[in-house]
């Protein structure tokens, strides 16, 4: 698998709720649309991505990474979204219990989504940040945002502000996750993205500068504030 630098039966498949409502609006394909594709590669990837076996999901990721740039981007991102959100915003359960959790699969899927980039990739990453609880997956998702070409709407800034709220409320916040978040915000500021006028975001940055973080994290929060002043 190419790696970049990254920071049926008895099973009840709980389809992702956001996809059912908003999938077409995001420019992505639903699972049903993927199933109807004539392209054998797409159908194989779809089946592997929906498997409950970790090895099948990893195989799908490897193929998806190799096919990036040569495969229908809507289909590719739809499959990657399955892999990136399986276990967080949607889950396979038996008797009400989740039967697996593969954060390593989600993390790698997030990295590949960042490589694909674009508006749809950004929206998927927002979903990951909103619902996932694993700090390694979250850090990768936030880091990947820097590669997608962040849009000028308020959605991404709001999601990042909410993530910071959750972290700041923790007794032992994750320094790596917060640093990745600050890097994404710094990129927004350097691009002059006016969505950073979010007052919650600014207050969170101020809290970080005096919070229980490493010196590196606190200084990066100051860097972001300085970059915001220069917009």
Weakest-pLDDT range from 80-84, 162-166, 194-198, 200-204: 194-198
For residue 2, pLDDT beyond 50: no
Question: Is the pLDDT higher at 100 or at 53?
Answer: 53
Alpha-carbon distance values, 192 to 140, 151, 161 (Å): 23, 11, 17
Q: Is 92 helix (H, G, I), strand (E, B) or coil?
A: strand
pLDDT digit string, tens, across residues 59-114: 999 998 888 888 888 889 999 999 999 887 666 555 666 677 899 999 999 999 99
Assigned token pair, 118: 């674009």
Please say whether the beta carbons of 84 and 124 come within 8 A.
yes
Domain boundaries, the chain: 1-149, 153-231
Please say whether the beta carbons of 29 and 74 come within 8 A.
yes
Taking only Cα atoms into account, the Rg of the chain, rounded to an integer number of angstroms, comes to 18
Closest to 184 measured CA to CA, from 134, 220, 231, 130:
220
Mean pLDDT over all residues of the chain?
Answer: 81
Please say whether the beta carbons of 48 and 56 come within 8 A.
yes
Phi-psi region of 37 (alpha: psi -120 to 50; beta: other; left: phi over 0): beta
Assigned token pair, 51: 């498997």
pLDDT digit string, tens, across residues 6-33: 552 222 222 333 333 333 344 676 656 6
User: 159 has which bridge partners?
Assistant: none
For residue 212, pLDDT beyond 80: yes
């Amino acid at each position: 698998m190419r790696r970049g630098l990254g920071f049926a039966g008895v099973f009840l498949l709980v389809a992702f709720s956001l996809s059912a409502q908003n999938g077409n609006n995001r420019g992505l394909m639903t699972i049903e649309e993927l199933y109807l594709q004539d392209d054998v590669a797409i159908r194989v990837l779809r089946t592997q991505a929906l498997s409950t076996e970790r090895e099948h999901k990893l195989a799908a990721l490897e193929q998806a990474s190799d096919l990036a740039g040569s495969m229908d981007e809507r289909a590719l991102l739809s499959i990657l979204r399955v892999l990136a959100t399986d276990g967080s915003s949607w889950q396979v359960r038996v008797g009400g219990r989740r039967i697996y959790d593969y954060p390593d699969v989600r993390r790698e899927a997030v990295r590949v989504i960042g490589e694909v980039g674009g508006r749809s990739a950004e929206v998927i990453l927002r979903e990951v940040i909103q619902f996932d609880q694993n700090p390694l997956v979250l850090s990768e998702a936030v880091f990947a945002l820097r590669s997608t070409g962040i849009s000028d709407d308020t959605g991404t800034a709001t999601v990042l502000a909410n993530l910071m709220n959750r972290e700041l409320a923790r007794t032992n916040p994750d320094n790596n996750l917060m640093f990745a978040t600050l890097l994404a915000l710094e990129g927004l500021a350097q691009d002059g993205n006016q969505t950073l006028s979010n007052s919650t975001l600014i207050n969170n940055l101020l809290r970080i500068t005096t919070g229980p973080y490493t010196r590196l994290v606190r200084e990066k929060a100051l860097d972001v504030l300085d970059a915001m002043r220069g917009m």
